[in-house]
Amino acid sequence: MVQIIKDMDELKTFLKAAGCKLVVVEFSAKWCGPCQRIYPLVHELAQTYHIKAVPTFQMFKQAQKGSISKPGPTSELHPHQEWALDSNQAN
């Protein structure tokens, strides 16, 4: 499901309503030069690999933002990152 959020109040309401579901948020803008420049490549990759959104993602669960300190083995994951590993089991 894609939801366009226009302000902070709408984002807070959406995150609260999502409850335990994982929410992925992409931040971009029409005026963003880098976003416009990478669009053709992203569009091609999205079709090939079924990618839904870039360039910036933040993941939320129960209205709390997760984080990644650095790429590495799963033992270095912050608790919220484990959602991605368990996404096929959880709602």
List 24, 32, 51, 85, catalytic entry: 32
Q: Is 32 a catalytic residue?
A: yes
Report the candidate in 74, 48, 57, 68 with the shortest Cα–Cα distance to residue 22: 57
Q: How far is CA 49 from CA 3, 5, 15, 42, 53, in A?
A: 21, 25, 27, 10, 11
List 5, 35, 53, 54, catalytic entry: 35
Q: What is the rounded CA–CA span in Å between residue 15 and residue 59?
A: 10
Identify whether the C-beta of residue 21 lies closer than 8 Å to the C-beta of residue 40.
no
Q: Which residues are catalytic?
A: 32, 35
